[in-house]
Amino acid sequence: SVLVAEDNLVNQVFIKEILEEMKVAYTIVSNGREAVDAVQEKEFDMIIMDCLMPEMDGFEATVAICELKDIGEIKDVPICALTANAMKGDREKCLDAGMDDYLTKPVRKKELKEKVYALIKGEKVQSTVLDSIRAEILFPETLFAVAKDATREADTNVVSIHAPSQQELQDDVLDQEAVENARSILKEKYDEMVHVYIDNSWERLDEIIAAVNVRDAEGVIRPAHTLKSTSKQMGALKLSEVAKEVELMAKAIVMSGEDVEKGMESILNGVQEIKQILSETKRAFEDMAA
């Protein structure tokens, strides 16, 4: 029996499909607080814990669960972190919180199966993905302001010398290997999840804009992080990369005392790029389905 703590619907569905294929019983909760409550109500053989969730994040939830284990209120249960971060030291942060191992997003069927089998058997599968990645923060030089009444659709009045073909657009914004991986997991649910993903992406963009408008760098991080991971999961790698840059810029403001106004101007540039690429991504998925 596996407890899955993950707040994003797209990621929930991917994990659910893989666990069902494995004939594994599961319970899904949407934040760390619900995860702490769940382990006190039922015994689980393993917990898959997203790191960045509302109300209580995965690190706080893990600490609380480990305290319950220490005082004997619940049995010992392995916790596998689920993270889309590629920051140096993230692996150590997971282990310091009391997690036993970790998985990186996007969720891959083979990797998730290996972790479930290994952790339930009491073994550890050593991962080196995060340790091999060096995160770089790039601040764009050109700054844009986001108009209050800006629409979500890309400007259709721009004159282009060469209008990209359907295939060129797909190749530019979608990674076909990742798309096929998503199809193999979701099967007949794939088309429905594309619509859910696009809708959720616009919602995450709205959250980023709302946080920028009040100069809340911390409020930018979670929706940008979610947009990064779900886009990568669905194969929209171009959008994932831009969302990653926005997330890192917001973290730089929070962690290093970067000038808020200067940092926000850079994030605004990223927001404009996200809008354009999200419209292109929507069109690419529609063309692929046609």
Which tens digit of pLDDT belongs to each residue from 82-100? 987 655 567 778 888 899 9
Q: Which residues pair with 102 in a beta bridge?
A: 81
Residues 6+ apart with CB under 8 A from 253: 217, 260, 263, 264
pLDDT in tens, 58-67: 999 999 999 9
Tell me the percentage of the chain whose pLDDT exceeds 90: 63
- Indicate left, alpha or beta for 55 from its phi (over 0: left) and psi (-120 to 50: alpha): left
pLDDT of residue 87: 58
pLDDT for res 25:
94
Given a cut of 50, whether residue 180 has pLDDT beyond it is yes
Q: What is the mean pLDDT of the segment spanning 208-220? A: 94
261 band by pLDDT with thresholds 50, 70 and 90: confident
Strand arrangement of the beta sheet that strand 101-104 belongs to: 26-29, 2-5, 46-50, 79-83, 101-104
Q: Which residues fall within 8 angstroms of residue 75, CB to CB, at 6 or more apart?
A: 43, 69
